[in-house]
Chain A
Amino acid sequence: MSAPGVVASQEDLELVERLRAGDELAFMMLVERHQAVMLRIARMYVSSRAVAEDVVQEAWLGVVKGIDRFEGRSSLRTWIYRIVANIAKTRGAAEGRVVPFSALAGDDETDPGVEPSWFYDANGRNPGGWTTFPGDWRGIPEDRLVGDETLRLIGRAIENLPPMQAEVIRLRDVLGWTSDEVRNALDLSETNQRVLLHRARTRVRRELDEYLRTGSEDV
């Protein structure tokens, strides 16, 4: 089920060998890299953080027990995330919790991140054109752009996104995964992955813009 070009790396195969040998350090390395994402994936489908932690522990057991069956046809992390997603979906269903994909993706959100008022409507003098050009970020000092306050604002903007949008932008833009890996790990179509990424980046850009052009995040 892996996409072309996304297979286990040499590093993956070495980690797998170490895990098969019961190497604790290899296991802890995987935990440090993946625990946070796994918890968020699990949390999308189950009722509480406590249940999500339980699901993740079960997923780790699945990884340790199933590692002999890992064939390297996907990356190791994709394989791990699919295990946690499957367990979480099953547990969520057992809890009677049905989470429609549209809710995770934010399909029902009325806020598109792009304000209709930014563009002339069909009766305007330039239909679909900017009513006012976007403000300029050039001239904002790099210190401010990459300062803690700006990064905290971006972090909060991401936390406030619908869960699947948040996870896509984290995996793509924070962790630097490829689109193929993200859609494999989260079981998304290529188009869906891109739509979610577009909405997420659009919202984060707008919040950044509001912040950068006013001066303080509390305004």
Chain B
Amino acid sequence: MTARALTCHEVIDLLTDYVEDALTAQERRRVEAHLATCDGCTTYLEQMRETIRLTGRLTEEQIPENEKQRLLAAFRDWTRPGGTRG
């Protein structure tokens, strides 16, 4: 049995599942069959991968020094003998 071919819009909606390897073998084949003949969807897939790569260049925000010092003071209080801990 051959499944109906996917449309471009359907393929675009499945691309994260495809990239995440979360499709069934049959769905995966349908997506790949479409990509093999569709330049638009292939370009879009490349752009999704590029988006992932560029997002990976971001860095987590740094926390201010005074916030760290406040937590360090709290930690010392929690862990000193007779402190909050335990």
B57 touches A146 (CB 8 A): yes
B75 touches A27 (CB 8 A): yes
Residues on B with C-beta less than 8 A from A24 are 72, 75-76
B interface: dominant SS:
helix
Interface flags for B13-24 (1: CB within 8 Å of A; 0: not) read 101110010100
A interface: dominant SS:
helix
Q: A28-B72, A127-B7 are in contact. Are A154 and B58 (CB under 8 A)?
A: yes
A201 touches B52 (CB 8 A): yes
> Total A-B residue pairs with C-beta atoms closer than 8 Å?
127
B55 touches A65 (CB 8 A): no
Interface flags for A50-65 (1: CB within 8 Å of B; 0: not) read 0001000100110011
Within 8 A of B (CB), among A167-218: 169-170, 173-176, 179, 190, 194, 197-198, 201-202, 204-205, 208-209
Residue of A nearest to B86 (CB): A65
Residues on B with C-beta less than 8 A from A173 are 52, 55-56
B56 touches A36 (CB 8 A): no
Whole-angstrom distance between the alpha carbons of A179 and B56 in the complex? 15
A194 touches B16 (CB 8 A): yes
Whether A31 sits at the interface, judged by CB under 8 Å, is: yes
Nearest CB on A from B5, distance (A)? 10
Within 8 A of A (CB), among B12-65: 12-13, 15-17, 20, 22, 39-41, 43-44, 46-48, 50-52, 54-63
Residues on B with C-beta less than 8 A from A37 are 60
Q: Interface residues of B, CB < 8 Å — how many?
A: 44
Q: A133-B40, A194-B20 are in contact. Are A114 and B12 (CB under 8 A)?
A: yes
Whether A32 sits at the interface, judged by CB under 8 Å, is: yes
Residues on A with C-beta less than 8 A from B48 are 201-202, 205
Within 8 A of A (CB), among B69-84: 71-72, 74-76, 78-79, 84
Residues on A with C-beta less than 8 A from B41 are 130
Pick the contact of B68: A28, A155, A198 (CB < 8 A).
A28
Nearest CB on B from A150, distance (A)? 7
Q: A61-B74, A61-B84 are in contact. Are A150 and B47 (CB under 8 A)?
A: no
A-B contact pairs, 9 of them (CB 8 A): A36-B60, A64-B85, A65-B86, A129-B40, A179-B20, A198-B15, A204-B55, A205-B47, A208-B54
